């Protein structure tokens, strides 16, 4: 690990130098100048009312706010509010998609179609909707209405909880943490953490788990499913990743943020011959659409659109001087890009009333006129091409890394047996035999307080070396993609012998790109399938699986970590703990939660210790399951993950039998 570097990504390093030469500050420098408030950083600052903010310093059992709130209560409330905010963000994203699905079903959003009818029917099944004799649009309408109901229903529980293993559902019921409705859990969490309501630490944390489950098994899972229904379920696609995916002779248009609908329209619009002709009339050869952050992941896994990387790349991208327009919507958009764009010819285009920005052009997206608006944006970018200043242009001069992305849970099932025999059993067998030691979901953000990508890359490399299959989402996936880890060849050279054999048999990378952060819900689905496939217990809790977010910064990451723990997957976060002020809270999350939900939530800053802990958790789970003790290079005699269907799958055919 290089402590002296701001990033391990050579393209980022090159652009950071450009920034330094031009005396342009980015979040990397601001993070150095602006140290976090130590009291707030550890979760010991209470600003729920105007008697404070109270800074609870001193001994844990003595520190107290003006109202008498104890340190553990304050820390728990702060944590729970982060969960609520993260849940709100993912779920509001899903709400917009549900409204789009409804508009499409009702014939009001004519530029979209239902791309994956098979998935629509599968989802209808989960929701108890009978599809017999109904047209595609009729089913889609019922599905959309049922989804919208999930936000505000006053009775019952979230429909998707039934997708979890029975054991897990029982645990949630017993603890009283089965979420009732998405909005209700977020609202209730805001209520119970306001001044003078919930004063019992364990109860606040149970509430946090219930709220987070409304994200994982609610908003996020819905977001993933609706995107698949409307835009297609991902299957492996080739692409490239780097800050150097911008083209000097093209109009460069970046989509940055999270919601995929408008980006999907832009993917079509930039290919329109009318747009290419218009670009040529302005001296460019065409329009180069590039993704950033989670919008990048959405259009990468479905269309193979190149990615410029994750959260910390947004300012660096502008420093290339080659971006004509950056279209943003919601979440992880740095306010700094508005001011920075003024130093260049780049136009920032905001597209939602929820997220406006000073110094940006506002073109409000509306799914009812999606294509017209997409073309308007593309034209604006093209019109800006002649304004590009030659002297501003810097190429990072780092060859973009090749990658394969697009491993949906459906595809992972398909690749283990083909369309009609798809199953998770071969994966379970590989785990039981010790070829695969365990599975790690490596996810989450970048954070300028940590050398960019250093922990993501270190952990991905070390985990595969130790025969751990790595599944990735969000900015962590960008980190591996840029480093070139998402190719089948990576397995040959770097994976442990067992994992390498499995990857070779199917022709997959040892590091699988599952999509955006809402697509962490795919990991929940995979974990449920593994539990149901047999041989590894009957619950998600107890599987040799761990979730890690080593460079996290967002409230959304906290919501994700909490719903994984509440679902039975132990979680390790790097980048400092927002609950470190309270030993009581640390004990609840690291120990008591094991008794309650068969998983703990750990904060550990040292990457070596994170690795050690992850492997220990995996090995302990193996021991408890009484499966073969992991030893590198020594496997059991169980079925090898290789048969004709698996070999055929290596050609990356679609999980749904269509032609690619
Ligand atoms: Ni996830 Fe996507 Fe990245 Fe973190 Fe932000 S882009 S939703 S929150 S920073 S992984």
Sequence-distant (6+) residues with CB within 8 A of 489 are none
pLDDT digits (tens, 9 = 90+) for 483-538: 999 999 998 889 999 999 999 988 899 999 999 999 999 999 999 999 999 999 99
Question: Does residue 309 sit within a domain?
Answer: yes
Q: What CATH code is carried by the domain that includes residue 155?
A: 1.20.1270.30
Q: How far is the CA of 119 from the centre of ligand 1 (A)?
A: 26
Angle separating helix axes 260-269 and 370-384, nearest 10 degrees: 60
Q: Are 259 and 214 found together in one domain?
A: no
Q: Is the pLDDT of residue 635 over 80?
A: yes
Q: Structural domain of residue 103, as residue ranges?
A: 65-231
Residue owning the nearest CA to atom 5 of ligand 1: 332
What confidence score (pLDDT) does residue 637 get? Answer: 64
> What stretches of 22-161 show up as alpha helix (H) in DSSP?
27-33, 38-41, 71-105, 117-126, 136-152
Q: How far is the CA of 426 from the centre of ligand 1 (A)?
A: 32
Which residue in 505, 490, 509, 528 sits closest to 430, CA to CA? 505
| Tokens describing residue 465 | 């070396």
Q: Are 338 and 479 found together in one domain?
A: no
What confidence score (pLDDT) does residue 652 get? Answer: 42
Residue owning the nearest CA to atom 4 of ligand 1: 445
Q: Is the pLDDT of residue 467 over 50?
A: yes
Contact between residue 260 and residue 303 where contact means Cβ atoms under 8 Å apart: no
Q: Is the pLDDT of residue 24 over 80?
A: yes
Burial group, residue 187, by CB count within 10 angstroms (0-12, 13-18, 19+): middle
Q: Are 173 and 221 found together in one domain?
A: yes
What confidence score (pLDDT) does residue 607 get? Answer: 98
- Tell me the C-alpha distance between 450 and 27, whole Å: 11
Burial group, residue 8, by CB count within 10 angstroms (0-12, 13-18, 19+): buried
pLDDT digits (tens, 9 = 90+) for 79-98: 999 999 999 999 999 999 99
Count CB atoms within 10 A of the CB of residue 244.
23
Q: Is the pLDDT of residue 102 over 60?
A: yes
What average pLDDT does range 185-212 have in this prediction?
Answer: 98
Question: Does residue 538 sit within a domain?
Answer: yes
In the chain, the largest separation of any two C-alpha atoms, in whole Å, equals 72
Q: How far is the CA of 320 from the centre of ligand 1 (A)?
A: 22
- Map residue 515 onto helix, strand or coil: strand
- Tell me the C-alpha distance between 482 and 502, whole Å: 23
Contact between residue 86 and residue 552 where contact means Cβ atoms under 8 Å apart: no
Residue owning the nearest CA to atom 6 of ligand 1: 293
Q: Are 359 and 466 found together in one domain?
A: no
- Map residue 132 onto helix, strand or coil: coil
Q: How far is the CA of 260 from the centre of ligand 1 (A)?
A: 14
Residue owning the nearest CA to atom 7 of ligand 1: 517
Which residue in 267, 256, 264 sits closest to 226, CA to CA? 264
Closest-lying ligand 1 atom to the alpha carbon of residue 89: 7
Q: How far is the CA of 294 from the centre of ligand 1 (A)?
A: 6
What confidence score (pLDDT) does residue 644 get? Answer: 47
Q: Are 600 and 462 found together in one domain?
A: yes
Read off the pLDDT band of 659 (50, 70, 90): very low
Token pair 């002709």: residue: 277
Read off the pLDDT band of 1 (50, 70, 90): very low
Contact between residue 598 and residue 545 where contact means Cβ atoms under 8 Å apart: no
Strands (E), 143-267: 237-241, 251-257
Question: Does residue 59 sit within a domain?
Answer: no
Out of 557, 559, 563, 575, give the residue to mutate to test ligand 1, the one with the largest number of ligand atoms within 8 Å of its CB.
557
Closest-lying ligand 1 atom to the alpha carbon of residue 297: 2
What average pLDDT does range 61-73 have in this prediction?
Answer: 96
Q: How far is the CA of 86 from the centre of ligand 1 (A)?
A: 11
Which residue in 368, 445, 475, 296 sits closest to 112, CA to CA? 368
- Tell me the C-alpha distance between 488 and 492, whole Å: 7
What confidence score (pLDDT) does residue 420 get? Answer: 61
- Tell me the C-alpha distance between 146 and 222, whole Å: 11
Q: Are 249 and 224 found together in one domain?
A: no
Q: How far is the CA of 334 from the centre of ligand 1 (A)?
A: 12
pLDDT digits (tens, 9 = 90+) for 116-164: 999 999 999 999 999 999 999 999 999 999 999 999 999 999 999 999 9
Out of 292, 308, 475, 552, give the residue to mutate to test ligand 1, the one with the largest number of ligand atoms within 8 Å of its CB.
475
Q: How far is the CA of 211 from the centre of ligand 1 (A)?
A: 19
Q: Are 79 and 195 found together in one domain?
A: yes
Residue owning the nearest CA to atom 10 of ligand 1: 445
What confidence score (pLDDT) does residue 506 get? Answer: 84
Question: Does residue 118 sit within a domain?
Answer: yes
Q: How far is the CA of 233 from the centre of ligand 1 (A)?
A: 21
Sequence-distant (6+) residues with CB within 8 A of 22 are 319
Q: Are 338 and 447 found together in one domain?
A: no
What confidence score (pLDDT) does residue 493 get? Answer: 87
What confidence score (pLDDT) does residue 505 get? Answer: 87
What confidence score (pLDDT) does residue 419 get? Answer: 55
Residue owning the nearest CA to atom 2 of ligand 1: 294
Closest-lying ligand 1 atom to the alpha carbon of residue 443: 10
Report how far apart, in Å, the C-alpha atoms of 168 and of each of 155, 536, 569, 610 are: 21, 14, 11, 26
What confidence score (pLDDT) does residue 646 get? Answer: 46
Q: How many domains does the chain have?
A: 3
Q: How far is the CA of 148 from the centre of ligand 1 (A)?
A: 24
Residue owning the nearest CA to atom 8 of ligand 1: 554
Read off the pLDDT band of 421 (50, 70, 90): low
Percent of the chain with pLDDT over 90: 91
Residue ending a domain, choose from 357, 392, 427 = 392
What average pLDDT does range 605-624 have in this prediction?
Answer: 98
Buried b (16+ CB within 10 A) or exposed e, 198-221: beebeebbbbbbbbbbbbbbbbbb
Closest-lying ligand 1 atom to the alpha carbon of residue 90: 7
Read off the pLDDT band of 423 (50, 70, 90): confident
What confidence score (pLDDT) does residue 211 get? Answer: 98
| Tokens describing residue 498 | 């067992």
Sequence-distant (6+) residues with CB within 8 A of 430 are 436, 498, 502, 638, 641
User: What is the total residue count of the chain?
Assistant: 660
Question: Does residue 101 sit within a domain?
Answer: yes
- Tell me the C-alpha distance between 64 and 55, whole Å: 9
- Tell me the C-alpha distance between 28 and 447, whole Å: 9
Q: How far is the CA of 309 from the centre of ligand 1 (A)?
A: 11
Q: How far is the CA of 270 from the centre of ligand 1 (A)?
A: 25
β-strand 601-603 against 438-442: which pairing, if any? Answer: unpaired
Q: How far is the CA of 554 from the centre of ligand 1 (A)?
A: 7
- Map residue 613 onto helix, strand or coil: helix
Q: How far is the CA of 437 from the centre of ligand 1 (A)?
A: 28
Token pair 């992972």: residue: 412
- Tell me the C-alpha distance between 601 and 172, whole Å: 17
Secondary structure element (H or E) that encloses residue 438, with its range = strand 438-442
Which residue in 174, 172, 304, 176 sits closest to 232, CA to CA? 304
Closest-lying ligand 1 atom to the alpha carbon of residue 518: 7
pLDDT digits (tens, 9 = 90+) for 246-273: 999 999 999 999 999 999 999 999 999 9
| Tokens describing residue 273 | 């011959």
Question: Does residue 545 sit within a domain?
Answer: yes
Q: How far is the CA of 285 from the centre of ligand 1 (A)?
A: 32
Secondary structure element (H or E) that encloses residue 497, with its range = helix 497-506
DSSP assignment of 596-608: HHS--EEE---HH
Q: Are 292 and 335 found together in one domain?
A: yes
Closest-lying ligand 1 atom to the alpha carbon of residue 473: 10
Q: Are 127 and 259 found together in one domain?
A: no
Q: Are 128 and 214 found together in one domain?
A: yes
Residue ending a domain, choose from 368, 392, 416 = 392
- Tell me the C-alpha distance between 248 and 229, whole Å: 36
pLDDT digits (tens, 9 = 90+) for 157-185: 999 999 999 999 999 999 999 999 999 99
- Tell me the C-alpha distance between 90 and 218, whole Å: 9
Sequence-distant (6+) residues with CB within 8 A of 347 are 324, 325, 326, 341, 360, 361, 380, 381, 384
List phi, psi (to 5°) of 355. Answer: -135, 80
Out of 83, 258, 311, give the residue to mutate to test ligand 1, the one with the largest number of ligand atoms within 8 Å of its CB.
311
Q: What CATH code is carried by the domain that includes residue 341?
A: 3.40.50.2030
- Tell me the C-alpha distance between 481 and 239, whole Å: 9
Q: How far is the CA of 291 from the centre of ligand 1 (A)?
A: 13
Q: Which residues are registered as beta bridge partners of 441? A: 471, 547
Closest-lying ligand 1 atom to the alpha carbon of residue 293: 6
Question: Does residue 8 sit within a domain?
Answer: no
Closest-lying ligand 1 atom to the alpha carbon of residue 556: 8
Out of 448, 550, 554, 563, give the residue to mutate to test ligand 1, the one with the largest number of ligand atoms within 8 Å of its CB.
554
DSSP assignment of 571-597: EEE-S--TTTT-HHHHHIIIIIHHHHH
Out of 241, 309, 331, 443, give the residue to mutate to test ligand 1, the one with the largest number of ligand atoms within 8 Å of its CB.
331
Out of 215, 256, 259, 310, give the residue to mutate to test ligand 1, the one with the largest number of ligand atoms within 8 Å of its CB.
310
Read off the pLDDT band of 405 (50, 70, 90): very high
Q: Is the pLDDT of residue 655 over 50?
A: no
Q: How far is the CA of 445 from the centre of ligand 1 (A)?
A: 5
Residue owning the nearest CA to atom 9 of ligand 1: 445
What confidence score (pLDDT) does residue 540 get? Answer: 98
Chain mean position to CA 168: 23
What confidence score (pLDDT) does residue 417 get? Answer: 73
List phi, psi (to 5°) of 254. Answer: -110, 135
Q: Are 454 and 587 found together in one domain?
A: yes
What confidence score (pLDDT) does residue 416 get? Answer: 83
Question: Does residue 586 sit within a domain?
Answer: yes
Q: How far is the CA of 501 from the centre of ligand 1 (A)?
A: 32
Closest-lying ligand 1 atom to the alpha carbon of residue 332: 5
DSSP assignment of 324-355: EEEEE-SSS--THHHHHHTTSS-EEEE-BTTB
Residue ending a domain, choose from 339, 361, 392 = 392
Residues having CB within 6 Å of any atom of ligand 1:
258, 293-294, 310-311, 332, 444-445, 474-475, 517, 554, 556-557
Read off the pLDDT band of 657 (50, 70, 90): very low
If you average pLDDT over every residue of the chain, what do you get?
Answer: 94
């Amino acid at each position: 690990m290089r402590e002296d570097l701001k990033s391990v990504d050579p393209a980022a390093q090159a652009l950071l130098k450009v920034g330094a030469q031009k005396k342009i500050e980015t979040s990397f420098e601001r993070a150095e100048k602006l140290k976090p408030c130590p009291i707030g950083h550890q979760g010991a600052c209470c600003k729920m009312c105007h008697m404070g903010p109270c800074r609870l310093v001193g001994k844990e059992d003595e520190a107290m706010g003006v109202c008498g709130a104890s340190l553990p209560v304050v820390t728990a409330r702060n944590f729970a509010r982060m969960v609520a905010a993260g849940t709100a963000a993912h779920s509001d994203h899903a709400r917009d998609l549900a409204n789009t699905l409804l508009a499409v079903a009702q014939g009001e959003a004519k530029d979209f179609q239902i791309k994956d009818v098979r998935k629509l029917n599968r989802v209808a099944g989960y929701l108890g909707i009978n599809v017999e004799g109904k047209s595609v649009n009729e089913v889609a309408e019922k599905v959309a209405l049922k989804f919208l109901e999930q936000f505000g229903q006053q009775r019952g529980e979230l429909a998707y909880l039934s997708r979890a293993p029975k054991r897990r559902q029982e645990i949630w019921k017993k603890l009283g943490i089965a979420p009732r409705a998405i909005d209700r859990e977020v609202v209730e969490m805001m209520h119970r953490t306001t001044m003078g309501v919930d004063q019992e630490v364990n109860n606040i944390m149970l509430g946090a788990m219930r709220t987070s489950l409304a994200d994982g098994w609610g908003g996020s899972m819905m977001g993933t499913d609706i995107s698949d229904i409307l835009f297609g379920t991902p299957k492996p696609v080739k692409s490239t990743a780097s800050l150097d995916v911008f083209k000097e002779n093209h109009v460069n248009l970046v989509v940055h943020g999270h919601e995929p609908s408008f980006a999907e329209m832009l993917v079509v619009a930039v290919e329109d011959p009318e747009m290419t002709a218009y670009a040529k009339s302005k001296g460019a050869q065409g329009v180069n659409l590039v993704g950033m952050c989670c919008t990048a992941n959405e259009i990468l896994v479905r269309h193979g659109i190149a990615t410029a990387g994750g959260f910390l790349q947004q300012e660096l991208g502008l420093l290339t001087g080659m971006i004509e327009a950056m279209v943003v919507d919601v979440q992880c958009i740095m306010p700094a890009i508005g001011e920075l764009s003024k130093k260049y010819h780049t136009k920032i285009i905001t597209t939602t009333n929820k997220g406006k920005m000073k110094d940006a052009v506002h073109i409000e997206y509306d799914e009812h006129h999606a294509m017209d608006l997409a073309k308007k944006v593309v034209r604006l970018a093209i019109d800006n091409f002649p304004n590009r200043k030659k002297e501003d242009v810097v190429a990072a001069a780092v060859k973009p890394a090749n990658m394969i992305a697009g491993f949906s849970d459906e595809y992972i099932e398909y690749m283990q047996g083909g369309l009609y025999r798809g199953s998770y059993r071969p994966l379970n067998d590989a785990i039981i035999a010790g070829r695969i030691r365990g599975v790690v979901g490596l996810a989450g953000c970048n954070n300028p307080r940590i050398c960019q990508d250093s922990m993501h890359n270190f952990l991905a490399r070390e985990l595969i070396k130790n025969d751990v299959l790595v599944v990735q989402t969000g900015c962590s996936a960008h980190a591996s993609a840029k480093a070139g880890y998402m190719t089948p060849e990576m397995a040959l050279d770097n994976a442990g012998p067992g994992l390498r054999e499995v990857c070779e048999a199917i022709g997959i990378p040892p590091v699988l790109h599952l999509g955006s952060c809402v697509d962490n819900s795919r990991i929940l689905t995979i974990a449920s399938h593994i539990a149901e496939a047999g041989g590894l217990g009957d619950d998600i809790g107890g599987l040799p699986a761990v979730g890690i977010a080593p460079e996290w910064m967002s409230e959304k990451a906290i919501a994700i970590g909490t719903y994984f723990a509440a679902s039975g997957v132990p979680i390790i976060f790097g980048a400092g703990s927002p609950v470190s002020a309270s030993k009581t809270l640390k004990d609840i999350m690291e120990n008591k939660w094991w008794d309650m939900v068969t998983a703990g939530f750990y904060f550990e800053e040292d990457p070596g210790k994170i690795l050690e802990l992850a492997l220990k958790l995996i090995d302990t789970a193996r021991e408890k399951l009484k499966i073969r003790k992991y030893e590198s290079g020594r496997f059991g005699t169980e079925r090898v993950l290789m048969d004709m269907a698996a070999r055929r799958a290596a050609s990356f055919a679609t999980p749904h039998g269509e032609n690619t």
